Amino acid sequence: MRVWDAHAGQEISTFTGHKGTVTSATFNRDSTQVISASADGTVKVWDVGRGEPRLTLLGHTDRITSAMFVADDTRIVTSSDDMTVQIWDISTGQPLNIFKGHTSSVNSAFCSPDNISLVSASDDQTVRIWRMSSSVPYPLEGTAGKRHTGSITNVIFSGDGSLIASASHDRTVRVWNAHTGQHLFLLSGHTSWVNDVAISANGQYVVSASWDKTVRVWDVHTGQMLLNLKNHTNDVTSAIFNPDGTRLLSLSWSDVLLWDVKTGQILFNLRGGHSIAFSTDGKRLITGGHKGIRVYDVQTSEEILKAFPD
């Protein structure tokens, strides 16, 4: 794993140590540390400047599917194919809590903005809310007809922590009240697996990405579909909003598209990859693949950095 300066195009650090594929990598708020999750069952905390691991988190017994810093950067939340979610103390590397209850792989775990709760999504077809200080889950299973009927691929809190959105192989997205667990909306229309879901930071929109080659934008308050974006030529694996919710970036195996959220217009088309991200100010976008990373200017579509490993 490598870290690059997006302005200068220079490699800052090379991180080596995992014995399996790196499944995710995330910076802390001031970009001084990176956590990496791996198929080898470990999570590592890296010092960006020194390029060395500060900690290796040992405790999961299978592939790590997600890892993220809690908002205050003092803890880390991880999910795994071993059917658990864990919270870790970043100063000691010790687990603070282990959440057990899922009966199959946990594909995603996401912390609430207030650092009080976390939500997890599993192949067991359930979404569960956990209090950080407790190990007793509150499952969002819904009543008959108001729950997922396939593996749940991703789950996320809204920016204010009031809503949860979940995506599933049952071809739907569901929106839930995060405080009561009440099922609010079923977002249906996709004709294949839904791989990803996101909520805009302005709290207006939900986006879903599917193997039916479409990206759909929904009104988060009514559940109404606003846009059905059909220009991808392959399965869509990811979709994210920029920080102000006016732009949408979607990724398929063959292309990356930047959209205007209000009009559905394509602003530009880039080659595909394995991952996408916006910079924190929304002025740049990043695409990553097995051959390296590329950074683009959002306004001009100019490629401003191309970094490939040796």
- Of 265, 256, 275, 159, the C-alpha closest to 217 is 265
Distance of CA 13 to CAs 2, 46, 278, 294, Å?
6, 10, 21, 17
Instruction: Name the phi and psi angles at 26, rounded to 5.
Output: -140, 135
DSSP 245: S
Residue type, 144: A
Q: What is the pLDDT of residue 283?
A: 85
Between CA 121 and CA 259 the distance in angstroms is 28
DSSP 286: E
List 194's β-bridge partners, or say none. 210
* Burial class for 150, CB neighbours closer than 10 Å (0-12, 13-18, 19+): middle
Between CA 241 and CA 158 the distance in angstroms is 12
Q: Give the pairing type, strands 183-188 and 194-199.
A: unpaired
- Within 10 angstroms of residue 278's Cβ, the number of other Cβ atoms is 18
For every residue of 205-218, DSSP letters joined together read: EEEEEETTS-EEEE
- Of 141, 55, 66, the C-alpha closest to 103 is 141
Domains (range + CATH), the chain: 2-307 (2.130.10.10)
CA triplet 106, 272, 244: central angle to 5 degrees?
70
Between CA 118 and CA 166 the distance in angstroms is 13
Residue type, 136: V
- Of 203, 211, 144, the C-alpha closest to 175 is 203
Can you give the pLDDT of all 310 residues of the chain as single tens digits? 455 555 555 554 454 566 777 677 777 777 777 787 888 888 888 776 666 777 888 999 999 999 988 888 899 999 999 999 999 999 899 999 999 999 999 999 999 999 888 999 999 999 999 988 776 666 665 544 578 999 999 999 999 999 999 999 999 999 999 988 889 999 999 999 999 999 999 999 999 999 999 999 999 999 999 999 999 999 999 999 999 999 999 999 889 999 999 999 999 888 776 778 887 788 888 776 655 567 788 888 888 766 554 4
Record the pTM: 0.86
Between CA 111 and CA 132 the distance in angstroms is 9
